[in-house]
Amino acid sequence: MTDRLVRGQKTVPYGYTSLAEMGKLHADMYMDFGLLKLKQGEVFSEEKPFECLYLLVSGSVEFNWNGQIVQAQRNNCFDNSPWVLHVPAHTAISITSIIEGSELTVHRTENEREFDAKLYGPEDLPDEIRGEGTMYETGTRTVRTVLDKNLAPWSNFVFGEVITSPGKWSSYPPHIHPQPEIYYYKMFPEQGYGFCEYGDDVYKVKHNDTVFIEPNYTHPQTAAPGYALWYMWVIRQDNKDPYESPKYPHFIEEHDWARKDTSAIWQPKKR
């Protein structure tokens, strides 16, 4: 196994922790990715020549950009929809933590397009339940899509969250796409675990772990019984071959039948 799986610490450290950096660490992702944890009253400020995303995972913060100031609160990433600040290159932002230990993810990538900055709130990002009525509910999961080609064609990110219910699967049937992707995980309760298929290999994933998914590797997920598995997913868009439906994702034909014909799935006989 390679460094495709990066083990997280039991508790996210304070400050900014870089996990991917364009041209350096995990350069094949073509984007920056890091974790940000702030003390009460601490301010994080930056102005980068990149398109940037800031996802509030948990806590209470004040977002400040382009003269706008908005307070956002999220008790946890399982029960509450996200807040996400999305800005174009050369936009000065600051994030002030109102309480101790607010956690965010930080994302940056190259994008010369001009677009309006936007703060997405829970009212913009309702829960979408996918997989209902198929595969005897074994693939039922909660999806919150923030950015994709339809919602934000000006963005070089495809971005959102998935909650895999205890004992169930997500990102299934196995699928591939030629764009790199990052998964970042939280478990509830925190001692939980799940499994990430990575092509023909499998990673056991835990709280605060990160997986860097290379192009054209299958990557379905499953959560151990008793444990909910949340993951943030971010795809670096390829302008020459964009990630958009119905071209992508490409489901592996050998297993795609399962979502189409539930009646063909074996079930134990009633006794």
Per-residue confidence (pLDDT) for residue 271, from 0 to 100: 78
Per-residue confidence (pLDDT) for residue 144, from 0 to 100: 97
Domain boundaries, the chain: 10-255
Q: From first to last of its 271 residues, what are the pLDDT tens digits of the chain?
A: 348 999 999 999 999 999 999 999 999 999 999 999 999 999 999 999 999 999 999 999 999 999 999 999 999 999 999 999 999 999 999 999 999 999 999 999 999 999 999 999 999 999 999 999 899 999 999 999 999 999 999 999 999 999 999 999 999 999 999 999 999 999 999 999 999 999 999 999 999 999 999 999 999 999 999 999 999 999 999 888 999 988 899 999 999 999 988 889 999 988 7
Residue 253 CB partners (closer than 8 Å, separation 6+): none
Nearest alpha-carbon partner for 239 in 56, 115, 72, 111: 111
C-alpha to C-alpha distance for 172 and 169, rounded to whole angstroms: 7
C-alpha to C-alpha distance for 6 and 168, rounded to whole angstroms: 23
Q: What is the third-level CATH fold of 10-255? A: Jelly Rolls (2.60.120)
